Amino acid sequence: MIHNLKILPCFFHSVKENGKLFEIRDNSDRNFQKGDTVYLTEWKDCKYTGKMITVLINYVTSFEQKPNFVVFGFSILKASK
């Protein structure tokens, strides 16, 4: 499955620099699974910036999360310049 998600600039840059390889997200209408592709698209001032990172989910857990939330770990497949 493919997911398109908005991501704020501070988190986008952390992902791009490989300092952040996980997301905590509401899973109530997504059903994130290992093997899913996610397009993390930078969102600033209520609009897309055109920057995107493509990631592959390699781990999903709901341990110690709020109801309907999960943490998913990922590896970066492709990042825009």
Both tokens assigned to 5: 């998600």
Map out the domains of the chain as residue ranges: 2-79
Which pLDDT score is estimated for 36?
98
Q: For the domain made up of 2-79, give the CATH fold.
A: 2.30.130
- pLDDT per position in the chain (81 positions), as tens? 999 999 999 999 999 997 899 999 999 999 999 999 999 999 999 999 999 999 999 999 999 999 999 999 999 999 886
Place of tokens 């709020």: 66
